[in-house]
Amino acid sequence: MNKTNVKPAEGKLGVLVVGLGAVTSTFMTGVLMARKGLAKPVGSMTQYDKIRVGKGADKKYLKYDEIVPIAKLDDIVFGAWDVYPANAYESAINAEVLKEKDINPVKDELEKIVPMKAAFDHNYAKRLDGDNVKTVKDRWDMTEQIREDIRRFKKETGVDRVVVLWAASTEVYVPVDEKVHGTLAALEAAMKADDKEHIAPSMCYAYAALSECCPFIMGAPNTTVDIPAMWELSEKTGMPIAGKDFKTGQTLVKSGFAPIIGTRCLGLSGWFSTNILGNRDGLVLDEPANFRTKEVSKLSTLESILVPEEQPDLYTDYYHKVRINYYPPRNDNKEGWDNIDIFGWMGYPMQIKINFLCRDSILAAPLCLDLVLLSDLAARAGRHGIQRFLSFFLKSPMHDYTKGEVPVNHLFQQYVMLKNAIREMGGYEADEEID
Ligand SMILES: NC(=O)c1ccc[n+]([C@@H]2O[C@H](COP(=O)([O-])OP(=O)(O)OC[C@H]3O[C@@H](n4cnc5c(N)ncnc54)[C@H](O)[C@@H]3O)[C@@H](O)[C@H]2O)c1
């Protein structure tokens, strides 16, 4: 390995997940199975991807852990919170994502992952009615109790570092309100005043994680850490944050396909995306207020790739619509349809149809692994605040809008940002330009 200033990945890495549902039980089962050599972590960049470092005659293609110190799968210790008391084994069985034969070899380990009581507010996810929930006085107390959970987890397991990953249900949409979310002092005051409208439970998890010096990742589209107050906290505690919303199926396709249209200078008049899914995520998103959060996140993808101001002839006024339909028979096996109305030479219309029969949690699990390992890496590299190099994994990448930053949604530009960050942390030149 080249000379790097990143602290080594010594000791155990605690991974505390908020939400022990389909995604996280699939993630945990896969990691435990891979550890035993019984499954392959397919789809994980940290386990497979190779990056070029150096140029010309010095050029080499190396895996991430040959460039920077990355925690090993063997060193991961899982913990969780959930509204329902099912342990990780029961949750994996209930989710019906994986076959029992792919879960049973690690049954004993999964059964030991029993969720701690959730910091939960029914008004934020009306379709959930579990009772494994903390009794709290106010939002501040909620935060304090989560901090206590993290400290206890560290003590009981002896882990050296902890990363907190939100992969719980999507909460109802909380628009950013500068008065409450604009500064850390205002956020803390609102928590103490028990402002339930502006302080989502997810904000309590994020506040607790950052205060306990744990990186925090937002895998759902919630605005949780996408607010200046949390950026201030992450600077104060020197912790990385990443979000939001795992980029798994339809949006991955969109952020990879839109560049074809843009690069080829074809026009776009409309993009309609719809899908059916029947898991608990779909059930929660069936509630309009929860869907709104997802919709805002999904809609943001195209606008920064096919930019009307840059190419008014090609991208002015295209119609972009996103729909999600709860349809129980499909469970986790989501089916997505994209209809893309494009136009070519002299404005003549054409259509592209994409039909993606995917598996939601199978696509999300490797993202959980990569986001966790790379956030832990970022913390050891002394990086704090918004980690834009992780945009590659996220549907609605965080960016400092107060400084006029724009999100990067273009998949291949995001990949350059990822590669450059790994190179830089590995002591190599971050030598690729984003075009
Ligand atoms: N699978 C994908 O492709 C994908 C892509 C992007 C985002 N996501 C997001 O990931 C999240 C998880 O998806 P899933 O399919 O595993 O859903 P799921 O419904 O199977 O699991 C979510 C779990 O979170 C728990 N929960 C809800 N609120 C909680 C709280 N306040 N504290 C602790 N636990 C809480 C629920 O009880 C549930 O068990 C969702 O928000 C989803 O939108 C998934």
pTM of the entire predicted model: 0.94
Q: Kindly give the number of the ligand 1 atom that is closest to the alpha carbon of 361.
A: 1
Ligand 1 nearest atom to the CA of residue 169, by list position: 41
Residue nearest to atom 6 of ligand 1 (CA): 246
pLDDT number for residue 295: 73
CATH code of the region 250-357: 3.30.360.10
Cα(26)–Cα(389) distance, rounded to whole angstroms? 25
Atom of ligand 1 nearest to the CA of 285: 43
Quick one: what percent of the chain has pLDDT higher than 70? 99
Superfamily of domain 13-246+362-425: NAD(P)-binding Rossmann-like Domain (3.40.50.720)
Cis? peptide before 244, omega within 30° of 0: yes
CA–centroid distance, residue 19 to ligand 1 (Å): 6
Q: What is the pLDDT of residue 289?
A: 77
The rounded Å distance from CA 166 to ligand 1 centre is: 8
Distance 331 CA to ligand 1 centre (A): 14
- The length of the chain in residues reads 435
CA distances from 202 to 20, 88, 131 (A): 15, 21, 18
Where does ligand 1 bind, in terms of residues with CB under 6 Å? 18-23, 81-84, 118-120, 125, 128, 130, 167-170, 201, 219-220, 245-246, 248-249, 279-281, 360-361, 363-364
Cα(280) to ligand 1 centroid in Å equals 8
Residue partners of 206: CB distance under 8 A and separation at least 6: 164, 166, 216, 218, 224, 225, 230, 241
Within the chain, which residues score under 70 in pLDDT? 294, 297-298
- Catalogue the E-assigned strands of 38-197: 50-53, 60-63, 76-82, 116-117, 161-166
- Kindly report the protein residue whose alpha carbon is nearest to atom 10 of ligand 1: 167
Question: Which ligand 1 atom is at minimum distance from the Cα of 246?
Answer: 6
Smallest CA separation from ligand 1 atom 21, residue: 21
Which residue's CA is minimally distant from atom 33 of ligand 1? 82
Report CA(151)–ligand 1 centroid distance (Å). Answer: 24
Q: Where are the domains of the chain?
A: 13-246+362-425, 250-357
Q: Where are the beta strands (DSSP E) in 128-255?
A: 161-166, 216-218, 240-243
Chain centroid to Cα 38, Å, comes to 26
Using the mean position of ligand 1's atoms as its centre, give its distance from the Cα of residue 21 in Å.
6
* Of 182, 252, 270, 254, residue with least CA distance to 223: 182
Residue 358 alpha carbon, nearest atom of ligand 1: 3
Residue 215 has a pLDDT of: 98
Strand 267-277 versus strand 335-343 pairing type = antiparallel
Among 129, 142, 218, 281, which is best to mutate for testing ligand 1, by the most ligand atoms less than 8 A from CB? 281
pLDDT of residue 298: 65
The DSSP code sequence of 90-117 is HHHHHHTSS-GGGTGGGHHHHHT--PEE
Say what the pLDDT of residue 180 is: 96
CB 239 within 8 A of CB 215: yes
Distance CA 374, CA 364 (A): 15
* C-alpha distances out from residue 219 to 97, 140, 165, 305, 318, Å: 19, 23, 7, 22, 28
Two tokens, residue 238: 């020197």
Closest CA to ligand 1's atom 9:
220
> Could you read off the pLDDT of 343-383 as tens digits, one per residue?
999 999 999 999 999 998 999 999 999 999 999 999 999 99
- For 103-161, write each residue's pLDDT tens digit: 999 999 999 999 999 999 999 998 888 899 999 999 999 999 999 999 999 999 999 99
CA 83 / ligand 1 centre spacing (Å): 11
239 conformational bin, left if phi > 0, alpha if psi -120 to 50, beta if neither: beta
- Nearest-atom number in ligand 1 for the CA of 83 is 37
